[in-house]
Amino acid sequence: MSTPEQRVTELRNQITQYSYEYYVLGNPSVSDAQFDAFVNELRTLEQQYPDLRSPDSPTMRIVDGFDNQFEKVRHPRPMLSLANAFDAPGVLAWRDRVYKILETTAVTWTAEPKIDGLALALTYQNGLLVRAATRGDGEIGEDVTLNVRTIQDVPHQLRHHVEWPIPTTIEVRGEVYMRSDEFAALNQRLVEQGDKPHANPRNAAAGSLRQKDSRITASRPLRFFAYAVGYVEGIPFDSQWQTLQVLRAFGFATNDDARHFTEFTDLLAYANTWMARRDDLAYEVDGIVFKVDSITQQDQLGVAGRDPRWALAYKFPARETTSVLRAITVAVGRTGVITPAAEIDPVQLSGVTVRNASLHNADLIEKLDLRIGDTVVLKRAGDVIPYIIGPLKEKRTGVEMPWQMPTHCPACNTPLERADGEVAWRCPNFGICPAQLVRRIEYAVSREALDIVGLGEKQAQLFVEKGLIGDVADIFDLQPSHFADMDGFGEKKVANLMQSIADAKQQPVARVLMSLGIRFVGTVVAQLLMNHFGSLARLAEASVAEMSAIDGIGPAKAQSVVDFFAHPAHRALIDKLATRGVNVAGGGSPAPTSQALANQVFVVTGTIAGYSREEAEAMITRHGGKVTGSVSKKSTYVVAGSDPGTSKIQKANELAVPIIDFATLMTMIGDDHAGDVIVPTPAAKNDADAQPATDTPIIQQSSMF
């Protein structure tokens, strides 16, 4: 049997190898669950034996340090910028200058997509990462080492390679970036939390890298491509292509789309191919970087000003276009929020046909001074969401018409309202507005609420239009005969839907409360309310003062519940649900299966990998713990997943409440969790109206040169 020291060394080597396979080779040899198990085992051993902790341990990506000061550091060699060319003649002119200076056409080349991220310089001494610095002005950057240590594909220690010895000192240069899909997911989380989304992946990467709290950086989906070497001692480099191979051997992710060419015509053809296929890349690029491959020839060519003569950025056309704004329409959300959207003449943008664009709210339209008939500039945020930058006022002819926010709901003609301090206009006709009803039914049947499979957006729209559903309770009146003349409802599909509806009657009362669609009442708030009141009937009689006295329920949430049940129709809805056999009392807090977490109060924030928020909280309550929605002096721990709420993390730090990750929580539960029957599922999406804003973060424990 190995000693703890031997096992720690073994685990670190295994985890480093598996990380290399996953992030660099893209070919993992173990499952995510196995990888997580190794990391959890290592973390536990390091907690049990503090003397075995090491700064280069894989667990140190989950840093304790925060409040970075970003000290200024001087680069050992300047991080240069790049000259640009925007067409083939410009590229050929650069090639000819290279030939002229070198006095030869015997040149080979490399081409690499120009990632739209943030340049970074990583310094390793004897194979260990000792410093990470931003480009800054090219001469002096900022020390962001703590934050960079959280990026998964930045090695803490260089891999040993039989052909290439570890240099005494090496400065590796590359780009921090976000994949387009991960950027879109991050923005979605920010919007759901009530935070402002990032304009593009580059801004998101830059902002994430400069967070004062390293744990926030750790929550962001940052990645790193290595593409060059600055200062180096102990190893020679002959070419750019060789440099990429050595960096990959040392454990860095390098761009799989980089290519080596002997003929310049092939180099240009490659760039033109990618210009046509740029949307196939998983990340944003704004061009292709051409480099003279030979380091000797690079030295001969030298630098002109701040641009190396041996490199050029062949820039892609901007991802912007113009169209004509034909109309502004509005959509009604679940809680009555009115959201405007632009209808434009169809136009090609980033490889897709765009007919609509986001406008967010009436204040933005007024700020941009948009008018119907304007020629507008369009852009795709993160190459995903089209939005209007603004109008081209010089193209106005005088026929353009200002737009006014409707005064009445387009679905039910109810006068719109806007609360003090809010930008959103709302339709207050919560009980009757058909557009709100469709959205509420979608929400009620979602996995986080009643979890009725087979009843989605299209079905909700159809059933509301046919008069089959007028409120949540009507879902339980649906019968097979209702689908007899409906396309797409075969016998098996109807049978499955009926069974799912029947199963929903037994959902815990907290889920039933969520299904009512009360503003601010999401998973946590619903559970807190039902743990206290036990039934919907008792909750409907409660006052703002009674609810506000519950730890985690503030006055705004309490007032929202009181306002909801002030409507007689909503009170009647409780009886209507009860008569259909729906659980409206009981099941709010199942009896604990163990006391592993007894007398401890937890706040869960962020996304827990493999579990929905509700499942993670249920795990705590099943083992005797208590879950609240906000951090207070009574909190024992804050359990933080990826992208947790900044306000909760800050509050925990202010009150000295320990912050742990989910793996640590599972360690606290220990063997008692073996009998749990939860099947982990993908993390649930929060609803922006259901939960108050919770900010961002986590913890767990354009230059090329």
* Residue 701, H or E segment: none
> Partners of 467 in the beta sheet?
none
* Four-CA torsion 574, 580, 583, 584, nearest 10 degrees: 10
627, 621 contact by CB (below 8 A): yes
Which of the 8 DSSP states describes residue 85? E
291, 60 contact by CB (below 8 A): no
531, 394 contact by CB (below 8 A): no
Structure tokens at 34: 């196995």
Give Dmax over CA atoms of the chain in angstroms. Answer: 91
472, 441 contact by CB (below 8 A): yes
> Partners of 322 in the beta sheet?
377
- Catalytic (active site) residue 72: no
* Residue 289, H or E segment: strand 285-292
Q: Find all residues with CB under 8 Å of 394, minimum gap 6, and list them.
A: none
> Partners of 118 in the beta sheet?
176
Q: Are strands 285-292 and 311-315 parallel, antiparallel or unpaired?
A: antiparallel
413 residue type, one letter: N
Q: What is the DSSP string of 139-171?
A: SEEEB-HHHHTT-TTS-SBPPP-SSSPPPSEEE
522, 194 contact by CB (below 8 A): no
Residue entry with tokens 């049940």: 565
Q: What is the DSSP string of 359-421?
A: ---HHHHHHHT-EET-EEEEEEETTTEEEEEEE-GGG--S--EE----SB-TTT-PBPB--TT
In 10 A of CB 377, how many CB atoms?
15
705 residue type, one letter: F
Residue 25 burial by Cβ neighbours in a 10 Å radius (0-12, 13-18, 19+): exposed
In 10 A of CB 192, how many CB atoms?
17
Residue entry with tokens 């039902």: 530
Which value, in Å, is the radius of gyration of the alpha carbons in the chain?
A: 29
Q: Tell me the CA distances in angstroms from 484 to 453, 480, 500, one per residue in order.
A: 19, 7, 18
| Closest-CA residue to 198 (of 367, 336, 53, 383) | 383
Q: Are strands 223-233 and 307-308 parallel, antiparallel or unpaired?
A: unpaired
| From 100, 114, 626, 648, active-site residue | 114
- Separation CA 84–CA 290 (nearest Å): 10
Catalytic residues, which ones? 114
